[in-house]
Structure 1
Amino acid sequence: MRAIVAGPDPEAIGAELEALGVTVERVESPVFADALGEAGIETADLFVLTDLTEGISITLAKEANPDVRAVCYGDGELPESVGGTVDLVVDPSLLDAEAVAEELVAERQ
């Protein structure tokens, strides 16, 4: 399984995914289409956005790979314009990174 974690990762969901055997590429904010391409969005199984203000990157990820599972894992508000594009939104104050990573990996097996 391949994942891209975009934005800062204060809850360490990237590390939790790696601990479960997921290959993780990281993209720093601001998230641009070329950075997603360099990280391999076209073949990624999972796109995890940790900075919800970068919500437009979900659209960019889905345009490059319509099958990628787009997950927002961070606090704040997601722009309404991408609400229908994201597959899952999780607030870190409700579920820790370990639990979210385990669920995301289990869904793909």
Structure 2
Amino acid sequence: MYKLEEFKQLVRDFGGVSDFLVVYVAEAHSTDGWAFTNNYDIKQHRSLEDRLSAAQILVQNEPLCPVVVDEMNDVTAINYGALPERLYVLQAGKVVYKGGTGPWGYNPQEVRSFLEKIK
């Protein structure tokens, strides 16, 4: 959520030439886990319904693209090394850009530079 506005600007600027998708994975800062102050009150997901409910907070903040949720076995997060978050660009089904892991490696500006080069 910290860089959601930067992500939304990417969608606005490149939505005509790229498809965007958010995959909501396991909650990194659950209130019953490793939490910090002034964060959303989201507990660790114990069911798919919990994860879907938590993803609604993101949907309500209008990411300007579809939001899907990872399975409870975290198959997407594991396969993409995306815990707690990561940005990817795929082209013709192949990864052409893999950002660093978040929060420090989550860099929408890097994605912007990459997309500008291939647009």
Smaller-chain TM-score bracket: 0.3 to 0.5
TM-score normalised to the size of structure 2?
A: 0.33
Give the structure with higher Rg (CA): 2
Q: What is the TM-score when the length of structure 1 is the normalising length?
A: 0.35
More helix as a share of residues: 1
